[in-house]
Amino acid sequence: MSQQTRSPEPVGVRAAPPLRVPTVAEEVVRGIRAMIMAAEVRPGERLVEERLSERFGVSRPPIREALRVLERDGIVQSIPRKGFIVIPITAADVREIYELRWILERSAVTTAIPVLDPASLEPMRAAVARMSAELAQTDPEEMLEANSEFHAALVALANNSRLTAAYSTLSKQLQMCMAMNLRFRRELYGEPSETVRRHQVLIDLIEASDLDALLTELDNHGDRSFMSQLDDLISP
């Protein structure tokens, strides 16, 4: 019996992995998160399954699955005999979240500077480019995601897995605070280029290995005016 031979694959050519299509529940998670970040539903307000089902054109099971995912993320909360609500957040909560963020980011840059591999800054540059893109200029959710990617990449500069894990645990609730801050700054400045500029300054200071100036910029980073208005922005 003759042995059949297979044609060798071209050297250096590798098949691209198939694209993964998001599930219905994953799409609903993104949609509900966008509603919350855009303040269409406020902290403490109920998320009514029937209305969500009508809005997204899906049955109840994917809605419930999405709400459970958001509950694990710390964005919604299940209340017995009431269903799911957007997790209540007070001015004191925001201050605690931002304080922990500052501690983690300061620790990360203090460890990382001077940055020996310029390529490690590419994720931060990509996030700034995403902020600058036309879509982000008109889509608050896109701007928020790019903002979150930037700060996660900043923390990753330390190459400390536990520090990164601690920041990841905080990130979902931090996104809610960032969303409030971005809305506040849009009202204050009227356009998003100011947000892009602030993040580019951080990259410039990291490249210059100017730790003192970087720590000062992180302490401010556009948050001071927001924090000073918290009690007025968030109802008790």
Those residues with Cβ within 8 angstroms of residue 55's Cβ, 6 or more apart along the chain or in another chain? 31
Question: Residue 34: phi, psi to the nearest 5?
Answer: -65, -40
Task: State residue 155's pLDDT score.
Answer: 97
For residue 222, pLDDT beyond 80 = no
Instruction: State the pLDDT confidence band at 14, using cuts at 50, 70 and 90.
Output: low
| Mean pLDDT over each residue of the chain, to the nearest integer | 85
Tell me if 151 sits within 8 A of 199, measured CB to CB. no
Residue 144: how many CA atoms within 13 Å on its side-chain side? Answer: 25
Task: State residue 74's pLDDT score.
Answer: 84
Q: Which of 2-11, 58-67, 157-166, 190-199 has the weakest average pLDDT?
A: 2-11
Average pLDDT over residues 108-116: 95
Task: State residue 73's pLDDT score.
Answer: 84
For residue 1, pLDDT beyond 60 = no
pLDDT digits (tens, 9 = 90+) for 122-153: 999 999 999 888 666 677 788 888 999 999 99
Residue type, 42: R
For residue 206, pLDDT beyond 80 = yes
Q: Which of 53-57, 101-105, 170-174 has the weakest average pLDDT?
A: 170-174
Tell me if 194 sits within 8 A of 185, measured CB to CB. yes
pLDDT digits (tens, 9 = 90+) for 158-201: 999 999 999 998 888 888 888 888 877 777 666 667 888 999 99
Average pLDDT over residues 79-105: 90
Spatial separation of the C-alpha atoms in residues 19 and 2, rounded to whole Å: 39
For residue 210, pLDDT beyond 80 = yes
User: Strands (DSSP E) along the chain, which ranges?
Assistant: 46-47, 76-79, 83-86
Q: Which domains does the chain carry?
A: 24-86 (1.10.10.10), 91-233 (1.20.120.530)
